[in-house]
Amino acid sequence: MQDIDNLGTARSLLAWDQRTQMPPQGAGVRAGQIATLSRIYHEMFTSETTARLIEEAANEVNGADYESDEASLIRLVQRDYEDATKLPTDFVKRMSELTSRGQQVWAKARAEKDFVQFQPVLEQLIDMTLEEAALRGYDDHPYDALLDQFDRDLKTADVKAIFDTHKPALIDLIAAVSEQQDRVDDSCLHQHFDIDQQRAFALDVVKAFGFDFERGRQDTTVHPFAMSMSRYDTRITTRFNDDFLNPALFGMMHEAGHGMHGQGFSDEIDCTPLAGGGARGYSMSVAESQSRTWENLVGRSRGFWQWAFPKLQAAFPGQFDDVDLDTFYGAVNRVQPSLIRVEADEATYNLHIMVRFELELELVSGSLKVADLPDAWNAKYQDFLGIIPPDAALGVLQDVHWSSGAIGYFPTYALGNLLAVQYYNKALQDHPSIPDEIAAGKFDTLLKWQTEHIHQHGRKFNADEMTRRVTGEGMQSQDYIAYLQAKYSDIYGLS
């Protein structure tokens, strides 16, 4: 298993290098290297030897505590093995070819704002996704098999219930805020900001959070990401925008949140399939909750800016002289229904996800035809957010996910927002001093709590197990709604 994990993380390094360091013409060779490592990984993992070793180990650990490293490793690896052997090689190859073509066609269609070009590929992708769901198997809904790839054991019915529960509250909240939108002015975030100064300030912030640069590094990419090969080698990347402060600053907090998660795996599970951040079967919802905690619950809190705003003023001399803390705090929390998911604020974000989830479900169920997708998309944006995309690039073609075959991924983003608040509330219950500490630039109590309750376990637990273990209850949206209502009542003076 350690050899297999080493192969997997070596492949991760090849991917990291491809996105951060590789010379422009190195892509062809790199694809070959990654394909070789992937093939050997798959062959080693699905070999009869591995099956026998897993079976023997399962007999050995039989009776061990469910939460023990040993029992958890075997439980996870048995599921991984089932997953890896369910799809025939021919299907994997066809799917890989289709998604590779899909992404090319999508990129061109988006550039030309022309959904019709993408339509036939998306139709094929939906068909193959249904084929995949059948191969993987499911009890109630084919979409269950899709969710399971990104969040093991997550069920469509549960996602639907939790989304339906908080959708009206979000819509109401946004309506209330929009009546008070003059109360917030975020023009101070839209200035020219020197990129080296942005980097230095954001690095200081994530160092203070606790991202360990002895065990990690930060680089620049167009599409930011975090990658943990081990708790001792966890890397994050950042996108810089020279006339908008948010992408680099809150983006680096977000990726550092993922990064600290990866740096928090226990030594016992590091470099085993139990760690494996980003591996199949990992809970993407739990992962997202950790990045959102640092980006939003800490990084967009008033307390944090009590500590950080004077430092920001010093880092950008003259640029925030006329801005006070309240104005700045309002600015970074401005609510604005927009067309683009990745730029969405905390109030609107989950509605963007619900649009996609509902459409995916209709497509997979067959109640919506791909040809009708753009109209359905626009109708939902009108219903949920009150705005209609002017073209497909700003609408139905905005995300890469579908073209790459990632159907069932989107919900984890929204669930991550919910879990972030549920877990954070429990941390506050255990350590009521955390808000004051944050306002004093002290973040280790929170990080230590996360590490102890969440990070150290890697992917030992699915999202439901983790959530019940941490909070004593299942996923719910009440905490999130309460958090948003309190925050925006304060900022927007809602009654």
Residues forming the active site = 255
Q: Does 23 bind a second copy (CB under 8 A)?
A: yes
Chain-centre distance of CA 17, in angstroms? 21
| Nearer of residues 43 and 60 to a second copy, judged by Cβ | 43
Minimum CB separation from a second copy for residue 42, in Å?
13
Q: Which is nearer to a second copy, 8 or 102 (CB)?
A: 8
How many beta carbons lie within 10 A of that of residue 401, not counting itself? Answer: 15
Asked whether position 17 contacts a second copy by CB under 8 A, the answer is: yes
Question: From the CB of 266, what's the least distance to a second copy, in Å?
Answer: 14
Question: How big is the site for a second copy, counted in residues (CB under 8 A)?
Answer: 39
Cα 67 from Cα 461, distance rounded (Å): 8
Residue among 461, 423, 384 at smallest CA distance from 151: 461
Beta bridge partners of 220: 238
Give the helix/strand (H/E) hosting 237: strand 233-238
Residue 11 or 487: the one with the smaller Cβ distance to a second copy is 11
By beta-carbon proximity to a second copy, the closer residue of 12 and 285 is 12
Considering only 21, 89, 187, 367, the residue that binds a second copy (CB under 8 A) is: 21
Among 130, 173, 236, 271, binds a second copy (CB under 8 A): 271
* 26 lies in the binding site for a second copy (CB under 8 A): yes
Indicate which single residue of 33, 241, 313, 336 sits in contact with a second copy (rule: CB under 8 A). Answer: 33
Among positions 19, 30, 75, 448, the unique one binding a second copy when judged by CB under 8 A: 30
Among 125, 133, 229, 397, binds a second copy (CB under 8 A): 229
Query: Considering the rule CB under 8 A, would residue 22 count as an interface residue with a second copy?
Result: yes
What's the one-letter identity of residue 282? Answer: Y
Judged by CB under 8 A, which of 40, 58, 84, 176 binds a second copy? Answer: 40
- Residue 218, SS3 per DSSP: strand
d(CA 397, CA 391) in angstroms, rounded, equals: 9
Partners of residue 234 on adjacent β-strands? 216, 228
How many other CB atoms sit within 10 Å of the CB of residue 262?
Answer: 30
Strands 233-238 and 226-230, how do they pair? antiparallel
How far is 390 from 251, CA to CA, in rounded Å?
27
Of the two residues 151 and 270, which places its CB atom closer to a second copy in the complex? 270
Of 369-398, which residues contact a second copy (CB under 8 A)?
none
* Binding status of residue 3 toward a second copy by CB under 8 A: yes
The stretches of 151-293 forming alpha helices (DSSP H) are 156-178, 195-209, 246-263, 284-292
Q: Between 24 and 493, whose beta carbon lies closer to a second copy? A: 24
CB of 77 to a second copy, least distance (A): 17
Q: Does 53 bind a second copy (CB under 8 A)?
A: no
- Report the C-alpha gap between 454 and 290 in whole angstroms: 9
Give Cα separations from 272 to 9, 64, 392, 456 (angstroms). 10, 18, 43, 13
CB of 29 to a second copy, least distance (A): 4
Asked if 42 is part of the footprint of a second copy (rule: CB under 8 A), the reply reads no
Buried b (16+ CB within 10 A) or exposed e, 449-480: bbbebbbbbbbbbbbbbbbeebbeeebbbebb
Instruction: Report the residue number, 38 or 425, with the smaller CB distance to a second copy.
Output: 38
Binding mask 188-227 for a second copy (x = CB under 8 A): -------------------------xxxxx----------
- DSSP code string of 339-358: S-GGG--TTTHHHHHHHHHH
Q: How far is the CB of 43 from a second copy (least distance, A)?
A: 10
Q: What is the phi/psi pair of residue 379, to 5°?
A: -65, -40
Between 151 and 190, how does the x/- string for binding to a second copy read (CB under 8 A)?
Answer: ----------------------------------------
Identify the residue among 230, 285, 301, 422 touching a second copy (CB under 8 A): 230
d(CA 155, CA 475): 12
List the one residue from 39, 108, 183, 192 that touches a second copy (CB under 8 A). Answer: 39
Provide the minimum distance between the beta carbon of 45 and a second copy in the complex, in angstroms, as a whole number: 13
Which residue's CB is nearer to a second copy, number 211 or number 357? 211
Write the CB contacts of 53 (distance below 8 Å, at least 6 apart in sequence): none
Find the binding residues for a second copy in span 118-147 (CB under 8 A). none
Long-range contacts of 154-158 (CB under 8 A, 24+ apart): 154/283, 154/285, 154/411, 154/412, 154/415, 154/462, 154/463, 154/464, 156/361, 158/475
Stretch that binds a second copy, among 18-26, 182-190, 371-379, 406-414 (CB under 8 A): 18-26
Cβ–Cβ under 8 Å, residues 252 and 204: no
Tell me whether residue 23 or residue 318 sits nearer to a second copy (CB atom).
23
- For a second copy, the binding residues in 231-250 under the rule CB under 8 A are 232-235
Among 69, 255, 270, 288, binds a second copy (CB under 8 A): 270
Residues of the shown chain interacting with a second copy in the complex, contacts defined by CB under 8 A: 2-3, 6-7, 9-11, 13-14, 17, 21-26, 28-30, 32-33, 35-37, 39-40, 213-217, 229-230, 232-235, 270-271
